[in-house]
Amino acid sequence: MNLIFATRPSALARWQTQWVIAALKNIHPSLECEEKIITTQGDKILDKSLPKIGGKGLFTQELESELLSGAVHCAVHSLKDLPVENPAGLTVGCIPARAEVRDALISRDGYTLATLPLNASVGTSSLRRAAQILSLRPDLRTQSLRGNVDTRLRKALDGQYDAIILAGAGLTRLDLDQHVTEWLSLDMMLPAPGQGALAVQCRADDQTTLDLLAKLEEDSTRKCVTAERAFLSGLGGGCAVPVAAYAQMIREQRLEISLTGLVISPDGKMVIRVTGQGTEPLKLGQQLAQQALTEGASEILSLLPTITVQSQTTFRSQVVTSG
């Protein structure tokens, strides 16, 4: 059988797709695979911050359209970039074992978050990261940072920023982690829901592809990221809000999960952090979301602009219709 994978053109997206292909071919030696490179809106628009142009869906919509049309069998995503709801007809066929979940600080001059000078500039494309930075160091200036991993890293090493923050998984996958000045602990910087995990998306009725992907599934990773994304979904699911979550298995035999969720105002001054344990990922995430809303997260979320939701919904309805 031949599987066609949709992939974005960036080095990280290609690496992730090729990793999945290699892992599948190792399990199914007779399987043939090929890539179809698709440039998304998120790849094209680089002069504006993600929240202003549509957030996470900008990196997935064109790939999902190719899936729904039947032009490709699979699409490999960074799970943190995938909206919490799949379009009708699509599903996440497998979630492999998770990689590095932490964020990393990179500074040409060797600064850590604690040693950055007063009023130093920190580049990040994420409201979540910017808000947590300002909570720890309100004197710093956060500035928009767009582009693929290589581009962002070059901007840091050229001195365009005093430091930048990137997801550690992308750096380790591309063998660029030697540039990391400081790994930010989970106490300092809680990751995005699903950070460090890959998601292989396919059509929900494509049982042959689902059967092939099943051998790559990592059950504990699936449970943990499901809890994290349920927390995000319970808060409204918006990809442009400063929400963080991290879950881990604490008792493998009992399948008990520990989840920490965070909602933070963009200026870092209002922080709601909740923690809980449970054995049902969806229920745990939803319960903690409701707890966070009760403790004041609703006030934080009400201060944020309602952006891009309508445009994403419109695009998805067009995609489903065309499929």
Task: Please enumerate, as own/partner, the contacts of 88-92 that have beta carbons within 8 Å and a separation of 24 or more.
Answer: 88/320, 89/203, 89/204, 89/205, 89/320, 89/323, 90/64, 90/201, 90/202, 90/203, 90/204, 91/201, 91/202, 91/203, 91/204, 91/210, 92/199, 92/200, 92/201
Strand positions, DSSP E, 117-234 = 121-123, 141-143, 163-167, 182-183, 198-203
Is 205 one of the catalytic residues? no
CB 298 within 8 A of CB 289: no
**C-alpha span between 65 and 63 (Å, rounded):** 5
Selection from 169, 211, 128 nearest residue 13 by Cα: 169
The catalytic position among 81, 103, 162, 206 is 81
Q: Are strands 163-167 and 103-106 parallel, antiparallel or unpaired?
A: antiparallel
- Collect all residues with Cβ–Cβ distance below 8 Å to 158 and sequence separation of at least 6: 108
**Residue 183 exposed, middle or buried by CB count within 10 Å (0-12, 13-18, 19+):** middle
Rounded to 5 degrees, what are φ and ψ at 217? -65, 140
Instruction: Report the helix count and the strand count for the chain, using DSSP H and E.
Output: 12, 13
Residue whose structure tokens are 């031949």? 2
Backbone angles phi, psi at 166, to 5 degrees: -130, 155
The amino acid present at 202, given as its one-letter code, is: C
Whole-number Å distance between alpha carbons of 163 and 122: 5
> Which residues are the active-site residues?
81
